[in-house]
Structure 1
Amino acid sequence: MAHMHITSWVLAFILIILVAMFYKQGKVKPGKILHMILRLDYLFILYTGGSLLGDYFSSTIGHTGEVIIKVIAGLWVIMAMEMIGVKLSKDKSAKGWVIQLVIAAIIAIALGFGRLPLGVLP
């Protein structure tokens, strides 16, 4: 399940870059289409993340505090991506949300790969 989760958020990062590019170029229709696809990808991220969360809580691995922080950071990443898309669709600045996205993504990735045992790294 970890591989599907990683694939879904890599796809989300690619899609948010494409959405931002289209909105910045003034191509609203392709931007909206990709924004809707990105929203569907959020659902897949939430499903696979919830499955991983269930695996953590059903096992006796521990790391409960770090798992909760990673869940909060992951939800923060999704919220920041959505707000970037919305702000750019309204032709407003999204600089603050981009900074938040980078910070939350670093926290989530560091916990997922570096600290928690159910990731793909040993």
Structure 2
Amino acid sequence: MFESTHAHITTWVVALILFVIVLVLQKGGNQKGAKITHMILRVFYLLIIATGALLFFKHQAYNPALYGIKFLGGIIVIAMLEMILVRTAKAKNTAILWIVFVVALAITIYLGMKLPI
């Protein structure tokens, strides 16, 4: 099942869609819907980490340094998603978090496309 990246890619695509939905619900004032969707998103964070860790430990022998950087970048992306949502709910500034998110996401996707698996 985890020979390929299908499960991992599916979980992070769904997570990004849920992230956008939570942001829209928060901006629209639907706090109850945003909270429920945010909890579902947190389950997907766990699935992303689990599938990513399985792929990492299975295939990291090809290039351990770059796979390690990709793994760290993925964890940073998840952390930024969570911090952006929490700070947005509290109506605090999220500009620097968005910058870190975009940079970490770009690095992670680039390494995901560059590395052999």
TM bracket (short chain)? over 0.9
* Counterpart residue number, 2:57: 54
Which 4+ runs in 1 deviate beyond 2 A? none
* Counterpart residue number, 1:43: 46
* Counterpart residue number, 1:76: 76
Q: Which amino acid aligns with 1:117?
A: P
CA deviation digits over 1:68-119, x for unaligned, max 9? 1101100000000000110111122222212211111110010011x2111x
Pick aligned residue for 1:11 from 10, 14, 23? 14
* Counterpart residue number, 2:66: 66
CA positional deviation for 1:52: 0.3
CA deviation digits over 1:8-63, x for unaligned, max 9? 00111111111111111111111111110010000100110011011124xx52x1
**Aligned residues, how many?**
114
Distance in structure 2 (CA, Å) of the matches to 1:33 and 1:99:
26
Distance in structure 2 (CA, Å) of the matches to 1:100 and 1:72:
13
Q: Does 1:30 align with 2:33?
A: yes
Please tell me the root mean square deviation across aligned C-alpha atoms, in Å: 1.1
* Counterpart residue number, 2:24: 21
Distance in structure 2 (CA, Å) of the matches to 1:17 and 1:95:
16
* Counterpart residue number, 1:107: 107
Q: Percent identity?
A: 40
- 5+ residue gaps, structure 2, are none
Distance in structure 1 (CA, Å) of the matches to 2:57 and 2:98:
30
Q: TM-score when scaled to structure 1?
A: 0.88
Partner secondary structure for residue 45 of structure 2: helix
- 5+ residue gaps, structure 1, are none
